[in-house]
Amino acid sequence: MFRFFENLVNPYTPYTEKDAPPRKLWPFMRDYCGPFKGVFILTGLMSIVVAAIEIGLIYYMGRIVDLLGTDPTEMWRTYGTELLLLAGFVLIIRPLMQGLDVALLNNAILPNFGTLIRWRAHKQVLRQSVGWFENDFAGRIANRIMQTPPAAGEVVFQTFDAISYALAYMVGAAILLLASDWRLMLPLLGWMALYGGLIRWTVRRVGPASKAASDARSQVTGRVVDAYTNIHSVKMFAHHDLEVDFAKEAIENARVTFQKEMRIFTVMDVTLVLLNGLLIVGVVGWALALWTWGEASVGVVAAAAALTLRLNSMTGWIMWALSSFFRELGVVAEGMETIAQPIALVDKAEAKPLEISQGQIELRGLTHHYGRDQGGLQSLDLVVKPGERIGLVGRSGAGKSTLVKLLLRFYDAEGGQILIDGQDITSITQDSLRKNIGMVQQDSSLLHRSVRDNILYGRPDATEAEMIAAAKQAQAHDFILDLSDPEGRSGYDARVGERGVKLSGGQRQRITLARVILKNAPILLLDEATSALDSEVEAAIQETLYGMMAGKTVIAIAHRLSTIAEMDRIIVLDAGRIVEEGKHDALLAQGGLYADFWSRQSGGFLKLDDVTDD
pLDDT in tens, 159-171: 887 777 777 777 7
| Res 55: pLDDT | 77
Minimal CA–CA distance to 530: which of 552, 509, 516? Answer: 509
- Rounded average pLDDT over 502-510: 81
Which has the minimum average pLDDT: 133-137, 184-188, 191-195, 318-322?
318-322
| Res 322: pLDDT | 72
pLDDT band at 455 (very low <50, low <70, confident <90, very high): very high
Pairwise pLDDT comparison (412 vs 69), residue with the higher score: 412
In the beta sheet, which residues pair with residue 418? 363
Instruction: For residue 418, give every residue at least 6 positions away whose Cβ sits within 8 Å of its Cβ, in sequence order, or none.
Output: 361, 362, 363, 364, 366, 406, 407, 409, 424, 425, 426
| Res 531: pLDDT | 60
| Res 533: pLDDT | 60
| Res 549: pLDDT | 83
Minimal CA–CA distance to 362: which of 309, 318, 311, 421? Answer: 421
| Res 256: pLDDT | 92
Pairwise pLDDT comparison (177 vs 219), residue with the higher score: 219
Q: How many CA atoms lie within 13 A of 75 on its CB side?
A: 12
| Res 535: pLDDT | 64
How far is it, in rounded angstroms, from Cα 122 to Cα 143?
A: 11
| Res 603: pLDDT | 39
Report whether pLDDT(553) > 50.
yes
Question: pTM surpassing 0.75?
Answer: no
The pLDDT tens digits for 207-247 are: 788 778 878 888 888 888 888 877 867 877 788 888 889 88
Report whether pLDDT(185) > 50.
yes
| Res 62: pLDDT | 73
Instruction: For residue 452, give every residue at least 6 positions away whose Cβ sits within 8 Å of its Cβ, in sequence order, or none.
Output: 467, 492, 493
- Rounded average pLDDT over 166-178: 73
- Rounded average pLDDT over 236-265: 87
| Res 540: pLDDT | 65
| Res 532: pLDDT | 54
Pairwise pLDDT comparison (461 vs 58), residue with the higher score: 461
- Rounded average pLDDT over 122-149: 83
Report whether pLDDT(522) > 90.
yes
Q: What is the mean pLDDT of the chain?
A: 83
| Res 210: pLDDT | 78
Pairwise pLDDT comparison (71 vs 194), residue with the higher score: 194
Q: Map out the domains of the chain with their CATH numbers.
A: 22-339 (1.20.1560.10), 437-520 (3.40.50.300)
- Segment (H or E) for 66: helix 37-67
Pairwise pLDDT comparison (67 vs 123), residue with the higher score: 123
Cα separation values, 127 from 124, 307, 371, 449, Å: 5, 54, 22, 22
How far is it, in rounded angstroms, from Cα 328 to Cα 110?
A: 14
- Rounded average pLDDT over 544-549: 78
pLDDT band at 610 (very low <50, low <70, confident <90, very high): very low
Exposure string of 12-46, with b = 16+ CB inside 10 Å and e = fewer, is eeeeeeeeebeeebeebbeebbebbeebbeebbeb
Pairwise pLDDT comparison (499 vs 379), residue with the higher score: 379
Minimal CA–CA distance to 153: which of 114, 118, 98? Answer: 114
Most confident of 190-204, 529-543, 563-577: 563-577
Report whether pLDDT(295) > 60.
yes
pLDDT band at 371 (very low <50, low <70, confident <90, very high): confident
| Res 330: pLDDT | 77
- Residue 525 CB coordination number (10 Å): 22
Minimal CA–CA distance to 152: which of 115, 186, 195, 196? Answer: 115
| Res 530: pLDDT | 65
Minimal CA–CA distance to 514: which of 437, 449, 438? Answer: 438
Q: At 502, is the secondary structure helix, strand, or coil?
A: coil
- The proportion of the chain whose per-residue pLDDT surpasses 70, expressed as a percent, equals 93
| Res 150: pLDDT | 87
How far is it, in rounded angstroms, from Cα 325 to Cα 230?
A: 37
What 3 state SS string does 292-349 have? HCCCCCHHHHHHHHHHHHHHHHHHHHHHHHHHHHHHHHHHHHHHHHHHCCCCCCCCCC
Report whether pLDDT(584) > 50.
yes
How far is it, in rounded angstroms, from Cα 507 to Cα 499?
A: 12
- Residue 54 CB coordination number (10 Å): 20
- Residue 203 CB coordination number (10 Å): 18
Eight-class DSSP state of 490: B
| Res 608: pLDDT | 33
